[in-house]
């Protein structure tokens, strides 16, 4: 059996009892490491807690070497751990399709994902539109297709969850060109960087999708005990420091109940 297990968003204890049992009954345990992180644990503490070796599966392994993950999973149990929910922000449908092709049974064990935990900011989940991902800009590369998605959401009054880029195991252009397997330090986009990038694109495109005064919500480490929620204008978020990763932004749409605004006001920084 291949178990694909959601770890929730905070620490090693967020896993469900079902998930823990599956890990204990597994011969190999992989941790998907490229789309998210748990703010409060390292791979070693997961290993200790599960009493199992945990093998880090980076993008390379998952995308080009999934057969290694699935090796003999027809006869032994293999667990594939995903931060958040297996079908949350990053779907692992490709791994499931590959397992099906190999006639390996698959069981999914869910847990909380950013897509539902974001409800902690008080906005109705029903009124969220398309989720967007904001990539790190470079001097020459400033992709802005997300701007159109935000615009579509806002036209019909829906909220937008903006997920922020993370870069783990990236190679510098030079190392890439020389095929040197040297990797940069992981980088996690902050709310402040994101707000700046969003304002930069609004400045360039000037379609008035939002403005520096548009109220938005910056969240960090949502789902864990030290989560932070800040309700402020984008220009204020552009200056805000809300601590260690992971960060996300929500742009509330106009379809906001009075009570939702009242709830948000508690996160206002003065
Ligand atoms: C995630 O795991 C926690 C801890 O075991 C559990 O209380 C919670 O219900 C799970 N969440 C989901 C969405 O399954
Ligand atoms: C696989 O997991 C199931 C359920 O946890 C368990 O009953 C079974 O014995 C495990 N199989 C092997 C080969 O360990």
Confidence of residue 11 (pLDDT cuts 50, 70, 90): confident
Q: Calculate how far, in angstroms, residue 50's C-alpha sits from the geometric centre of ligand 2.
A: 16
Q: Residue range 3-30: average pLDDT? A: 89
What's the pLDDT score for residue 91? Answer: 67
Closest among 137, 168, 123, 141 to 260, alpha carbons compared: 123
Question: Where do the domains of the chain lie?
Answer: 2-112, 115-266
Task: Give domain 115-266's CATH superfamily.
Answer: Tetrapyrrole methylase, C-terminal domain (3.30.950.10)
Lowest mean pLDDT segment, chosen from 7-21, 96-110, 229-243, 254-268? 7-21
Does residue 111's CB lie within 6 angstroms of at least one atom of ligand 1? yes
d(C-alpha 48, C-alpha 36), whole Å: 20
Does residue 163's CB lie within 6 angstroms of at least one atom of ligand 1? no
Q: Residue range 141-156: average pLDDT? A: 97
Task: Please give the distance of CA 48 from its chain centroid, rounded to a whole number.
Answer: 24
* Residues above pLDDT 70, as percent of the chain: 96
Which residues contact residue 55 at a Cβ distance below 8 angstroms, ignoring those fewer than 6 apart? Answer: 28, 29, 30, 31
Is 33 flagged in the annotation as binding?
no
Q: Calculate how far, in angstroms, residue 7's C-alpha sits from the geometric centre of ligand 1.
A: 9
Q: What is the pLDDT of residues 61-71, one digit of tens each?
A: 787 888 899 99
As its CATH architecture, domain 2-112 has: 3-Layer(aba) Sandwich (3.40)
Lowest mean pLDDT segment, chosen from 55-59, 131-135, 136-140, 209-213? 55-59
Which helix (H) or strand (E) segment holds residue 146: the answer is helix 145-155
């Amino acid at each position: 059996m291949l178990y694909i297990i959601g770890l929730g968003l905070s620490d090693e204890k967020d896993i469900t009892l079902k998930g823990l049992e599956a890990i204990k009954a597994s011969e190999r345990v992989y941790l998907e490491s490229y789309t998210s992180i748990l703010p409060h644990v390292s791979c070693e503490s997961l290993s200790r807690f599960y009493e199992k070796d945990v093998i880090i599966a980076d993008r390379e392994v998952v995308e080009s070497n999934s057969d290694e993950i699935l090796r003999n999973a027809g006869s032994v149990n293999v667990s594939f751990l995903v931060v958040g929910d297996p079908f949350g922000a990053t779907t692992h449908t490709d791994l499931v399709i590959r397992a099906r092709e190999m006639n390996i049974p698959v069981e999914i064990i869910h847990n909380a994902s950013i897509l539902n935990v974001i409800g902690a900011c008080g906005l109705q989940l029903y009124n969220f539109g398309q989720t967007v991902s904001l990539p790190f800009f470079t001097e020459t590369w400033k992709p802005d297709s997300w701007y159109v998605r935000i615009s579509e959401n806002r036209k019909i009054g829906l909220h937008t969850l903006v997920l922020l880029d993370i870069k783990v195991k990236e190679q510098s252009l030079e190392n890439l060109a020389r095929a040197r397997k040297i990797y940069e330090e992981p980088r996690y986009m902050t709310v402040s960087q994101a707000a700046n990038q969003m304002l930069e694109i609004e400045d360039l495109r000037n379609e008035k999708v939002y403005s520096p005064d548009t109220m938005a919500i910056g969240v960090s480490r949502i789902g864990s005990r030290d989560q932070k929620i800040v309700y402020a204008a984008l220009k204020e978020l552009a200056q805000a420091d809300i601590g260690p990763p992971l960060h996300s932004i929500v742009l509330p749409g106009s379809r906001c109940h009075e009570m939702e605004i009242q709830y948000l006001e508690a996160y206002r920084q003065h």
